[in-house]
A and B are shown apart, each in its own frame.
Chain A
């Protein structure tokens, strides 16, 4: 079974731009969670989607948003990018019957 995939793997943007990251969960997994990892703040939870509905949200500004499609693929969007948004963005998927979260390789976002 293929793992969680994320695209793109690397991204360079400038301040003020917006960015969209994509995540395809493991086949059959309907829950997708997003995390931000930075050297200063570590791994922080952004939000979680299940069956196209956002169920949980972390403490991030409204510039960070996401959505999930009917095939369980998910996207997250960051608008009006700031230098501090430079991070590794990780998504994880889990099945409806298990709490195990399996992570993708991440998207490395650099904001200049």
Chain B
């Protein structure tokens, strides 16, 4: 069964707007990682947040983690057409990640 579940399943926004995706997981983790995937290619690592962290930033990305609610969110600010992709969260311990079904983000020019 999948541990991480992303919400929404699909999101369509205009270029320049912000995009927020959420992820929930079921069991205890020591880290959560967000990835981007374009058209069935490999996953591109975006950011890792540890279980003892609440928020992390990287460029236009902001990730939050709420371990009490077993949830995380990914915010992409000032979106670009090139951000169009599927986004996955992988909830993990050691080097085993459990993924949800992903959020398909479409950024319209």
Residues on A facing B (Cβ under 8 Å): 4, 31, 33, 35, 42-45, 48, 50, 55-56, 58, 88, 90, 92, 94, 99-106, 108
Given contacts A45-B97, A101-B95, contact A88 B40 (CB under 8 A): yes
Q: Are B94 and A99 in contact (CB under 8 A)?
A: yes
Q: What are 8 A-B contacts with C-beta separation under 8 Å?
A: A35-B97, A42-B99, A42-B101, A88-B40, A90-B43, A101-B90, A103-B35, A108-B40
List residues of chain A with CB within 8 A of the CB of B95: 31, 33, 48, 50, 55-56, 92, 94, 99, 101
In the bound assembly, the distance between CA atoms of A69 and B6 in angstroms comes to 35
The minimal Cβ–Cβ distance linking A41 to chain B, given in whole angstroms, is 8
A contact patch SS: strand
B contact patch SS: strand
Q: Size class of B's contact patch?
A: 20 to 34
Contact pattern, B 20-51, Cβ under 8 Å of A = 1, otherwise 0: 00000000001101010000111111001000
Contact pattern, B 67-98, Cβ under 8 Å of A = 1, otherwise 0: 00000000000000000000010101011111
Q: Are A106 and B33 in contact (CB under 8 A)?
A: no
In the bound assembly, the distance between CA atoms of A102 and B5 in angstroms comes to 21
Q: Are B41 and A105 in contact (CB under 8 A)?
A: yes
